[in-house]
Amino acid sequence: MAEPLDMLQLDHCQQHATLYFPTGDVILLAPLPTGTRGSGDGPKSQLFRVHRNVLGHHSEAFTNLFGDASAQAGLAYDGQPVIELTDKAADVASLLQCLYDPYAYLTRRWHPDTPIELSGAVRLADKYLLDTLRSSLVKRVVEDWPKTLDEWDVANGELKAIVNLAYRPNRPRSQTVNLPGRVPEPASAIMFAQEFGCHEILPAAYYRLATIEIDNEWERKRATDSTTLYARWTLLDSESLLRYISGRRQLDSFHNRLKRQLRRGLGLCGGCMPFFFICPPEPGEEAPNVNIKEEYPCLHFITTLLDLAWDDAPASDPLQALHDLIDHRRFDEMLKKTCPEGLCHDCTEQFYGEIDKARGRLWKLLPLYFQVDRPSD
């Protein structure tokens, strides 16, 4: 017969608020972290009253665990056998929550806490061989991050729409737009991906992280932040921080290199290419004195657009900077004044085609820039 928990043990146990079911036929006991015990008089373990058939349906490991417990005279509490686990109480709670109410997480999109809240459940799903659940939980995190450039543009467009809500005319002040609470957080996603093997999200997660200033710490965010993104920098290990630093430098180099190339004729058709770009002056020769605006209006348009769009563009987000060259409606009035001729037909195709190719090339380089994938031989 099972031995009841004595009063001393009972004083140090705490029933879980929502995962202690009156109809449950087995109790799981898991340790609470030291930090929750206060001066030492607080609860040291948490109790979960659950159903054997629910857990056993998902995992043969649990079926065997319950069978072993039935064969042995162990502890009992509230009339039910107690199985002591070494797993953290928070991880057990996360796993049970996913088993009893999977839709709470699986249908929740773009929540910054998802990787943190699901990490414990995925670890225990690995341990107790809940393969289907593990796959579903990892997929939930993966689906929050774009894997292609088209998906990135769609997600970035949605992010901008959230920001625009804050500036909608006559919007009541009570209806604040909390941007950090409505989009995925990259640092936790990176650590989740590296632990559980969903590396396909790393390029996008590292790129998003590179667009966030390192001073924007998650702990400093405010509920009224509507335009600023934050990151949980303290979650990152030293290797991840080095990848972030290296990748950000690579993005900066890509941005500045492309800016130089565009100023030197990249995107111009052959008929509009200045002769001094084709045959540059020899060292010591005087540069030709030409009126770029009059003689090379297409080059003038491109350089003017670069000055307008990239004057204060962060080099850490070249995908957005390049997109601004394609969608330059906010600069159209100024462009019409300074470059009334615009681009000729051939340069229009050439220029926007080069920008498109540069964005695609950059997206493919992200795994290399952030050292999350080795280039194929």
DSSP 90-141: HHHHHHHHHHH-THHHHT--S-TTHHHHHHHHHHHHHHTT-HHHHHHHHHHH
- Retrieve residue 119's tokens: 């990490």
**Whole-structure pTM value:** 0.87
- pLDDT level of residue 41 (50, 70, 90 thresholds): low
- Average pLDDT over every residue of 81-101: 93
pLDDT in tens, 259-275: 999 999 999 999 999 88
Find the helix or strand (DSSP H, E) in which 45 lies.
strand 45-50
Half-sphere exposure in the Cβ direction for 1 (13 Å, CA): 3
Listed ranges 279-283, 324-328, 361-365; the one with the highest mean pLDDT: 361-365
Q: Is 80 helix (H, G, I), strand (E, B) or coil?
A: strand
CA dihedral 235, 239, 245, 247 (to 10 degrees): -110
pLDDT in tens, 66-85: 887 654 567 888 888 899 99
Of the candidates 121, 99, 105, the residue with the CA atom closest to the CA atom of residue 55: 99
CA 334/CA 340 separation, integer angstroms: 9
Q: What is the pLDDT of residue 256?
A: 92
- pLDDT level of residue 165 (50, 70, 90 thresholds): confident
Q: Is the pLDDT of residue 6 over 60?
A: no
> Is-contact 94 48, C-beta < 8 A?
no
- pLDDT level of residue 325 (50, 70, 90 thresholds): very high
Q: Is the pLDDT of residue 2 over 90?
A: no
Q: Is the pLDDT of residue 186 over 90?
A: yes
Of the candidates 126, 138, 54, 127, the residue with the CA atom closest to the CA atom of residue 85: 127
- Read off the DSSP letter of residue 18: E
pLDDT in tens, 282-295: 676 666 777 888 88
Q: What is the pLDDT of residue 376?
A: 42
- pLDDT level of residue 227 (50, 70, 90 thresholds): confident
Phi, psi of 62 (to 5 degrees): -70, -40
Report the percent of the chain where pLDDT is more than 90: 61
Q: What is the pLDDT of residue 287?
A: 63
- Average pLDDT over every residue of 188-203: 96
Q: What single-letter amino acid sits at 91? A: D
Of the candidates 133, 144, 278, the residue with the CA atom closest to the CA atom of residue 205: 144
Q: Is the pLDDT of residue 309 over 70?
A: yes
Q: Give the CA radius of gyration of the chain.
A: 29
Sole residue written with tokens 């002769």: 275
Report the percent of the chain where pLDDT is more than 70: 87
Q: Is the pLDDT of residue 88 over 60?
A: yes
Q: What is the pLDDT of residue 69?
A: 63
Compute the mean pLDDT over every residue in the chain, rounded to the nearest whole number: 87
**Helices 297-309, 238-263: inter-axial angle, 10-degree rounding:** 150
Q: What is the pLDDT of residue 290?
A: 77
Q: What is the pLDDT of residue 377?
A: 36
Phi, psi of 315 (to 5 degrees): -70, -15
CA 28/CA 78 separation, integer angstroms: 12
pLDDT in tens, 127-151: 999 999 999 999 999 999 999 999 9
> Is-contact 240 191, C-beta < 8 A?
yes
Of the candidates 256, 159, 260, the residue with the CA atom closest to the CA atom of residue 204: 159
Find the helix or strand (DSSP H, E) in which 335 lies.
helix 332-338
- Read off the DSSP letter of residue 372: S
Residue predicted with more confidence, 50 or 171: 50
- pLDDT level of residue 375 (50, 70, 90 thresholds): very low
Bridge-based pairing of strands 45-50 and 26-31 is: antiparallel
Of the candidates 57, 47, 60, 151, the residue with the CA atom closest to the CA atom of residue 102: 57
